[in-house]
Every structure is written in C-alpha cells, then in structure tokens.
C-alpha cells in the first residue's frame, strides 16, 4: 500500500448495537482523553455521527445515544497515563458490562486492550466499542467496492483500490486466509478500464505442479499425454481482462520465470507450442505467506517478488475490524437467508457484543460459516447468543506472531532509514499502518530511534 502521512489514532466509540439498527456503525472521537481531559457517556452525551459525511463538504448531524433505558448520569472516562483509560461507573445505576464482565465502580482499560478494542454493553440495550479511531473520516464519495464496514483499516483498502484501479499495473494482495482477497481483486477489475473484459481467478494451491504450466499458459494439441485438443490456459482466457493468481506462493519455481516474462514482456508460449502469444491482461496476485522470507530461502524468485510487490495492498484481519463485525454480520445473514429462502433474523441483545469480541482466526469466511450454521439451527426471528455459543467453542486464539525472520527484516529496515517509519514502510513494500502494527508486534519501538 502506498506510504502517506498518517494522523495518529485517537480514542473513540463506535456503536455495535442499538435498538434503532440504522445507528449501527455511528461513531464519536474522544480526543479530550488524549489531551488529559475527561469524557462522558450517557443517554445525552456524546453525539455520534456516521463515519462518512452525507455529501462532499457536508457534515453529518451528531446525535446522542438517546435510548430511554440509558441513564442520564454518565459513565466517566478518564485518561490514566501511558495510553490507558479509567472507566468510572460509581455514579450511575445503569448496568455496565465490559468485555463480558459486569462492572461496578471502576475498570482500568490498558493501552494494549484499547488497541484491540473493548466492548461495552450499556443497560443491556446498547453496545459500543471503545477503541482507537482514525480522526480522518473517509471522504464523501469514496466507493464501498462491495466492502462492508467503515473501520480505518478497511477505509485504507478502499482508498488504495480507488487509487490503483485505473492504473494498468500488477497489484499484490496480502492478508490472512478469509480476509476477502478475491473480493478486492474483483473490485480492482470492476473499477478499471478492463471492466468489460473477463475476470478470472485461479487458486494455485489447488493445481498439481506438473499441470501448472498448461493451466496457466495453455497447451498445444498433443503436448502431453491426454492433450487431445489445444487448451488456451488462463493467460489466454483472461485476454482483455484481469487474472487473479491466488496463493501465488504455491506456484512452482520452474514456472515463476514464465510469469515474470508476462509481466515484463507481455508475452508467453503455450506448452508444446512454438508461437509467441501476446498477453493483454492485468495481473493481480494474492498470498497469505511471507514471500520475502521465501525469497531468502530460495523458494521464490526475487525478481518476480519485487515485480509483483511494487503496489501491495494489505488486507486487515477481522480481529482488527471489530467495529465492522455487526454490520458485516447483518449483511452476511441477509445473503444466507436469501440463499436458503429463510427470513433474515435480527441480532438479539448480546449477539453483537459476542460477535465483536471473537478473534475470528478464519476471518470473514469463518464468520460466514458460523452465521450460516446458526441461522439454520436457530428458532425464532432473532439470533441469540445461545444460538452461537455452541458453534464458537472455546475463545479463539489470536494467530501467533510472525517469524523471527520478519522481525530481523523490520529491524534492518528501521536501522537503514534511521528510524523513519514512513521510509521503512516504503523500503519494505508495506503500508505505513501495517508497519506500525508489525513494529508493535515485534517490540521494535526505538530501533534505532523511532520517530513519526
């Protein structure tokens, strides 16, 4: 993803559930906490707004939560130093549940907990997420590209799609399994000048190594046993359009030079064919693997990697998009219900909180699978926490930190650019936000001096 100046995130609240479902996703920034001042949360304050203004130059009207079951006496949020927040509930009779545990009196929310996001349930009626928010709202008119949610991480992806789609360049999509890489690849295609051409995707992990060349580049008749007629291959079938090479890390080393030739010379040859063909297509690659480490281990060509990684887009895992989960769940449930010809259920009290608090190691794909099973098994018009709990099992563990090899690369890059994180992000070919996340994950603050 391109490197740009980034405004530091500030504490804020996002509505995950409200009796008025149209208010789900509204948010409010609490910059006073970062400035050492108190913030308050009650029926009357603060005012929440949609994350995207209704029109260019317009401003959305801020509205308080306004639910009659919420207390007018506020819950107080006070800065507690080193990024922590102290939650004081001693003056209100309103039931408060924080992270699934009832709170009476005081609750300290640490900086790491705030970064992950903390779910607050108010009076068993309204659920909000206390987390860090990007103070720069998504610009009016920024297309959704089929992506559900307005979290800062997802808005970054939408911005990159809008920027790169008109350019006829290769793009590398990087993210965990189930984060929606094919959806983003299709968005790049649909917003490009090639939108009228075909969009094709091939999962290279599912192609046997001995057939990879024929599948990708095609084969002449009689090129190998069983080739009774000529096969065009994906590079031929995608002419005039876009080809997604999913799981690019699985492509055999012997084939990688041929893909590089397509990128550099826009030509290829079919297996067993002597004629050079022109490749008129846009290439998008996707992976959940550490390709740079594979290059160092000799399992992926460095020249191909650097040719593909010129324009990378980092797809955030769902655990970093907790504020998007209720909106995404409603969207997925509506589609699942249509497919099974069932009425779409509502999210009952506590369901949004439960969904937003999961780690979802399988990301959107796992969420969709759980919701489908719950909808089919549930009774009644609502999806309750009791319908989901048996399908969730034990709390999912967050995937382990990345490899020591990645830590060493980050450290070397930071040293090379004297701690300038924007330059380090450009050097590594990752987004500024992704670098911030990885530096924190690998405890590299201050290497050699870490400045903004």
- Distance, in Å, from the CA atom of 311 to the CA atom of 323, rounded to the nearest integer, reads 27
Residue 294 and residue 326 in one domain? no
Supply the pLDDT for residue 442: 77
Give the pLDDT confidence score for residue 4 in this predicted structure. Answer: 39
In the chain, count H helices and then E strands.
16, 19
Whether 172 and 269 share a structural domain = yes
Q: What is the DSSP letter of 403?
A: P
In a domain, 362, yes or no: yes
Residues 129 and 45 in one domain: yes
Q: Is the link from the previous residue into 208 a cis peptide, with omega within 30 of 0?
A: no
- 177 and 309 fall within a common domain: yes
**Whole-angstrom Cα distance, residue 389 to residue 362?**
17
Q: Are residues 164 and 257 in the same domain?
A: yes
What domain range is 368 assigned to?
318-392
Residues 173 and 301 in one domain: yes
- Looking at the fold, whether 89 and 186 belong to one and the same domain comes out as no
pLDDT at 2: 40
Which residues in the chain show pLDDT less than 70? 1-7, 52-60, 137-140, 221-228, 393-405, 426-427, 429, 431-433, 446-452
Say if residue 171 is in the same domain as residue 254: yes
CB 286 within 8 A of CB 171: no
Give the CATH number for residue 196: 3.40.50.300
Q: Tell me which of 283, 314, 345 is where a domain ends.
A: 314
CATH number of 120's domain:
2.60.200.20
Q: β-strand 27-29 against 10-17: which pairing, if any?
A: antiparallel
pTM, full prediction? 0.76
Where are the alpha helices (H) located in 266-324, listed in sequence order? 291-296, 302-308
Give me the CATH number covering residue 431: 1.10.10
């Amino acid at each position: 993803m391109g490197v740009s100046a980034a405004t530091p995130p500030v504490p804020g609240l996002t509505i995950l559930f409200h009796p008025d479902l149209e208010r789900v996703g509204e948010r409010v920034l609490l910059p006073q906490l970062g400035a050492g001042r108190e913030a308050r949360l009650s029926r009357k304050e603060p005012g929440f707004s949609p994350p995207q203004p209704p029109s260019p130059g317009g401003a959305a009207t801020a509205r308080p939560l306004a639910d009659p079951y919420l207390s007018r006496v506020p819950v107080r949020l006070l800065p507690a130093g080193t990024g922590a927040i102290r939650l004081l509930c001693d003056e209100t009779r309103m039931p408060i549940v924080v992270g699934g545990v009832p709170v009476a009196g005081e609750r300290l929310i640490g900086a790491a907990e705030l970064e992950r996001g903390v779910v607050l349930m108010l009076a068993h009626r309204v659920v909000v997420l206390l987390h860090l928010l990007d103070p720069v709202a998504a610009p009016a008119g920024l297309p959704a590209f089929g992506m559900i949610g307005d979290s800062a991480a997802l808005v970054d992806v939408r911005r990159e799609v809008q920027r790169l789609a008109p350019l006829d360049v290769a793009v590398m999509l990087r993210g965990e399994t189930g984060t929606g890489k094919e959806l983003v690849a299709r968005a790049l295609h649909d917003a490009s000048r090639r939108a009228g051409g075909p969009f094709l995707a091939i999962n290279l992990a599912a192609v046997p190594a001995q057939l990879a060349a024929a599948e990708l580049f095609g084969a002449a008749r009689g090129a190998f046993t069983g080739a009774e007629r000529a096969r065009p291959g994906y590079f031929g079938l995608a002419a005039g359009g876009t080809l997604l090479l999913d799981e690019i890390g699985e492509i055999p080393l012997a084939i990688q030079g041929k893909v590089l030739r397509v990128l550099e010379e826009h030509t290829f040859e079919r297996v067993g064919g002597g004629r050079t063909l022109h490749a008129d297509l846009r290439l998008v690659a996707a992976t959940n693997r550490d390709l740079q480490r594979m290059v160092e281990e000799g399992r992926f060509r460095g020249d191909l990697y650097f040719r593909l990684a010129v324009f990378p887009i980092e797809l955030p895992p769902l655990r970093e998009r907790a504020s998007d989960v209720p909106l995404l769940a409603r969207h997925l449930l509506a589609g699942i219900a249509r497919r099974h010809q069932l009425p779409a259920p509502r999210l009952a009290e506590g369901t949004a909180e439960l969904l937003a608090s999961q780690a979802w190691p399988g990301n959107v794909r796992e969420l969709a699978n759980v919701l489908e099973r719950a909808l089919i098994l549930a009774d009644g018009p609502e999806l309750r926490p009791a319908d989901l709990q048996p399908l969730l099992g034990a709390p999912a563990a967050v995937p382990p930190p990345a490899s020591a090899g990645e830590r060493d690369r980050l450290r070397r890059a930071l040293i090379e650019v004297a701690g300038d994180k924007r330059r380090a992000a450009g050097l590594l070919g990752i987004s500024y936000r992704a670098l911030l996340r990885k530096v924190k994950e690998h405890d590299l603050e201050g290497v050699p001096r870490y400045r903004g």
